[in-house]
Amino acid sequence: MRTKIFSIIIIILSALCICACSQPAQKDKADSAPAITHCEPLTEIKDGRKNIYLIVKVIDSNYWQVIINGAKAAGEELDCNVYYCGTNIETDWKGQHLLVDEVLAKNPDAVILAPNDSVELASDIDKVHAMGIPIVLIDTAANTESFDICYMTDNLLAGQNAAEEMISQLRQAGYSGNDNVSVGILVGYAQSMTINERLAGFYQYWSNHAPEKWIVISDIMNCNGDFELGKKITAEFLIQHPELNGLYGTNNTPARALGATIKKENRTDITVVAFDYSDEIKTLVESPDYRVSTILQRQYDMGYSAVQSTLDILDGNTPSIKFKDTGVVTVNKDTLSDPLIREVIEHN
């Protein structure tokens, strides 16, 4: 079902034409094989225990460090060895391809993967599965069924939540259905199923609930997972669209870029809805001067549950479902004091 959804979303995005702000030079950079972080122990390594290998998207990202922390806690509590590795940019699927081969050469008992590219990594997932090695996906699904279970946010629903929050915050800012309102979008990587689903959910909810005079600007910015590029093209976008009222960042890197740019330009007039709880977003959510919200995922639970599932599978317990939604919460100034929100934030 998700494979069909992914194909439909790709067609939609092709029609929308993600804008050329991604820049050819940046594409060359992504293709030039950035450095990867090779496998290192995450837990204490003991003989006789199962060896689980975790491959993440961006090794030094706050978001991914939370997932790594969840996996480490599970390894320590459930008595298994956990190793981790990853790339340094979320578009580097070639680096992840090399890491899959590296992991397989170590004869793992199980593999946990967050695919950088839902299409390009499908064959690697198929290869692991064909070798009889349990493989659990986290954060992002892939264009294949050759995995045991995927722990992730229901990204279609999360995109709808983001649109709902954007509409709510714009109304709280004083805009009515009679006002002309425009919202821009910055994505991190056009080939990510996660991002595509969050876009589809956002557009779906927006088209059904936003006033007719409220529009989403058709030129979607794409930073290709590059924080510095994201800041640059956001600053240019603000100049090109002086009428702008809102910005939507689909994942961690775009969220950081939007937050940093809005703060630098002191654009307290622009409503921002993004994902995750990076330092850039946290600062603005907590500030009384900005109207910023973020959709916060339970990525700690993704990391912990993924390790737990690999051990269950190795014990002969086949998961009864293919996808497990770990859920999200919406964080803004009004919800910051909520005990449930604080609990999720503590893991971030």
Reply yes or no on whether the pLDDT at 23 is more than 70.
no
Q: Name 110's bridge partners.
A: 52
Whether residues 149 and 161 fall in one domain: no
For the stretch 74-98, pLDDT in tens is 999 999 999 999 999 888 999 999 9
Distances (CA, A) of 198 to 6, 22, 136, 162, 187: 11, 19, 21, 8, 10
Q: How does DSSP assign 106-120, residue by residue?
A: T--SEEEE--SSTTT
Q: What distance in Å separates the CA atoms of residue 129 and residue 313, rounded to the nearest whole number?
A: 13
pLDDT at site 189: 83
Closest CA to 78 of 319, 306, 300, 327: 306
Q: What distance in Å separates the CA atoms of residue 51 and residue 91, rounded to the nearest whole number?
A: 27
pLDDT at site 9: 52
Torsion of CA 248, 252, 257, 263, to 10 degrees: 80
Contact at 8 Å (CB) between 273 and 108? no
Q: What distance in Å separates the CA atoms of residue 290 and residue 284, rounded to the nearest whole number?
A: 6
Backbone angles phi, psi at 140, to 5 degrees: -135, 135
The pLDDT confidence band at residue 198, using thresholds 50, 70 and 90, is very high
For the stretch 119-175, pLDDT in tens is 999 999 999 999 999 999 999 999 999 999 999 999 999 999 999 999 999 999 999
Where is 247: in which H helix or E strand? strand 246-249
Q: What distance in Å separates the CA atoms of residue 342 and residue 86, rounded to the nearest whole number?
A: 29
Whether residues 179 and 248 fall in one domain: yes
Whether residues 273 and 199 fall in one domain: yes
Instruction: State percent of the chain over pLDDT 70.
Output: 90
Side chain identity, residue 31? D
- Residue 154 makes CB contacts below 8 A (sequence gap 6+) with 325, 327
- Residue 20 domain-assigned (yes or no): no
Whether residues 50 and 126 fall in one domain: yes
If DSSP codes are grouped into helix, strand and coil, which group holds residue 268?
coil
- Residue 14 domain-assigned (yes or no): no
pLDDT at site 17: 44
Number of Cβ within a 10 Å radius of residue 154: 17
Whether residues 277 and 201 fall in one domain: yes
pLDDT at site 27: 42
The per-type count for the chain, helices as H runs and strands as E runs, is 12, 14
Question: Residue 209 sits in which domain range?
Answer: 155-297+331-346
Whether residues 159 and 131 fall in one domain: no
Side chain identity, residue 343? E
Distances (CA, A) of 336 to 109, 168, 296, 317: 41, 17, 12, 39
- Residue 6 domain-assigned (yes or no): no
For the stretch 308-340, pLDDT in tens is 999 999 999 999 999 999 999 999 999 998 998
pLDDT at site 93: 94
Side chain identity, residue 241? H
For the stretch 49-74, pLDDT in tens is 999 999 999 998 888 999 999 999 99
- Residue 142 domain-assigned (yes or no): yes
Whether residues 145 and 242 fall in one domain: no
The pLDDT confidence band at residue 246, using thresholds 50, 70 and 90, is very high
- Residue 29 domain-assigned (yes or no): no
**Plot region of 45 (φ>0 → left; ψ -120 to 50 → alpha; else → beta):** beta
Whether residues 226 and 339 fall in one domain: yes
The set of long-range contacts for 260-266, using a CB threshold of 8 Å and a minimum separation of 24, is 260/227, 260/231, 261/230, 261/231, 261/234, 261/235, 262/290, 262/292, 263/290, 264/231, 264/235, 265/235, 265/238
If DSSP codes are grouped into helix, strand and coil, which group holds residue 278?
coil
- Residue 12 domain-assigned (yes or no): no
Number of Cβ within a 10 Å radius of residue 191: 16
Whether residues 312 and 242 fall in one domain: no
Where is 330: in which H helix or E strand? strand 328-331
- Dihedral of alpha carbons 49, 105, 324, 281, sign: positive
- Residue 140 domain-assigned (yes or no): yes
Contact at 8 Å (CB) between 112 and 71? yes
Q: How many domains does the chain have?
A: 2
- Residue 13 domain-assigned (yes or no): no
Whether residues 232 and 120 fall in one domain: no
Whether residues 58 and 173 fall in one domain: no
Whether residues 48 and 126 fall in one domain: yes
Query: Which CATH number do you get for residue 72?
Result: 3.40.50.2300
